[in-house]
Structure 1
Amino acid sequence: MNTRLRPADLAREHGLSTQAVRNYERDGFLPPAARTESGYRVYTDVHAKALRAFLALIPAHGHATAGGIMAAVNADDLDRALELVDRGHAQLSRDRATLNAVRTAISQVTTGPAPEPASAGWSIGELAHRLEVTAATVRAWERAGILVPERNRATGYRVFRAADIRDAELAHLLRRGGYPLAHIATVVEQVRTAGGTDALAGALAGWQEKLTRRGLAMLDAAARLGEYVRSRP
């Protein structure tokens, strides 16, 4: 028989409040608990495994997805739960591919011949010629927020400085890798925020570490979830 457990027993193992355990049951993250004649909840080892699975899923997939996975399992929709798990692994794979693409692109930008714009900067035509793209492509990158060139006050023409050329080269490399403009805009903004490609290259190690931690969390979560699924009646 399953051991009879109180909400406090489940809460104590994880340093939670008993109200948090009750809330998890209310939200469907734990299976419904039986009640005593006086109305007190009675949990079992199955509930303990469910709570361990849910808490392990949070660092692996995020709170919302973890809740969705557990709610699906508890609603006997195992295929839905596994679909959510698969999506998380697919996203991690895409994040790894993006990291590798950014690392490669930054390496090519920093090791390639440095742009030498005139003191007045480059025109859109000169930048397009350097990258062997059309001026329309450069304007599309600007509309997407990838490039933010200055404007000549007298003529209104775009003026591309060294940082703009770096951003354009990075965008060109990522675009050739098949990444959408919105995604490239996010990466280029990270370069600007970091203060250049050298600073971002150092930040990539932290990004890699986060992906590794998430991958390991997914391994632990899969084990906890599998244990819970097999313990359900």
Structure 2
Amino acid sequence: MAENLQSSRQLRPIDLARGHGLSTQAVRNYEADGILPPADRTPHGYRTYTPLHARALRAFLALVPGHGHQTAASIMRAVNRGEAEEALRLIDEGHAQLLDDRRTLQAVENALRDLESTAAKEPTTAPGPGSTFIGPLAERLGIRPATLRTWERAGLVRPRRDPLTGYRVYDEADVRDALLVHQLRRGGYLLERIAPLIAQVRSAGGLEPLEATLRDWRDRLSARGRAMLSGAAELEHHLSERG
């Protein structure tokens, strides 16, 4: 039989704190923030909690790894207000964001595969090994030179200028970035969403080192998905016992 949450069993702040590896101040803060239901007070003004508070705290702490502190707090506030539908909506938004992140990762992986298969397919007219001008690069990508200039203004490609002619010169890294931007744009990604990915390629020092970053990204998404499952299980138990 489910535990009677209206029983007279009382828990002190220290009981909740010790049971979850927290300080008593953290427990009081969670109550003040609406993450825990309001506590009763003894005639002397001391807070008293119940198994309901313990389950609410357990649910909140389980939600944090998957949804983050802010969203987990919003979920628990909605539950404490009796707005279960709002809590479920917030959870759905978290899953939708996770799915969107998975699709972004897949798009990047697809773009990198396409990049590896198409890079260096065509010779380029260039002032030096691995370099090219805006016209040949635009033709290679099947876009207008104006598009490359737009990408440059957005910081997605960073060609240097030939000191004699003033023409834009795209080196191997610029060509790589342009190819990656082109693949992601074809996948429907906006420039502002592509910019941090290009920055990641640059900071990794190219495509090969980025593979480790992508593996870590994939692992973190999987960990987040499993954390969401754990959080949902704890929240469901809390909602069922809460009634």
TM-score using structure 2 length: 0.91
Structure 2: segments with no counterpart, 5+ residues: 1-6
Which residue in 1 is equivalent to 2:241? Answer: 231
Match of residue 110, structure 2, among 95, 104, 111:
104
Q: Is the 8 A contact 1:128 1:138 kept in 2?
A: yes
Which residue in 1 is equivalent to 2:93? Answer: 87
Which residue in 1 is equivalent to 2:58? Answer: 52
Structure 1: segments with no counterpart, 5+ residues: none
Aligned counterparts of 1:154 and 1:119: Cα–Cα separation in 2: 11
- Which residues of 2 match residues 111-130 of structure 1 at below 5 A? 111-114=117-120, 117=124, 118-120=126-128, 121-130=131-140
Aligned counterparts of 2:242 and 2:8: Cα–Cα separation in 1: 11
> What secondary structure is seen at the aligned counterpart in 2 of 1:159?
strand
Counterpart residue type for residue 50 of structure 1: A
Counterpart residue type for residue 212 of structure 2: G
> Considering only aligned residues, what root-mean-square deviation do their CA atoms show, in Å?
1.4
Match of residue 32, structure 1, among 13, 27, 38:
38
1:43: Cα distance to partner? 0.4
Match of residue 22, structure 2, among 11, 16, 19:
16
Aligned counterparts of 1:116 and 1:183: Cα–Cα separation in 2: 30
Which residue in 1 is equivalent to 2:68? Answer: 62
TM-score using structure 1 length: 0.95
Determine if the alignment matches structure 1 residue 75 to structure 2 residue 81. Answer: yes
> Identity over the aligned pairs, expressed in percent?
55
1:2: Cα distance to partner? 5.4
Determine if the alignment matches structure 1 residue 138 to structure 2 residue 148. Answer: yes
Q: Is the 8 A contact 1:149 1:161 kept in 2?
A: yes
Q: Is the 8 A contact 2:162 2:168 kept in 1?
A: yes
Counterpart residue type for residue 226 of structure 2: L
Q: Is the 8 A contact 2:159 2:171 kept in 1?
A: yes
Aligned counterparts of 1:192 and 1:30: Cα–Cα separation in 2: 45
1:116: Cα distance to partner? 5.1
1:112: Cα distance to partner? 2.4
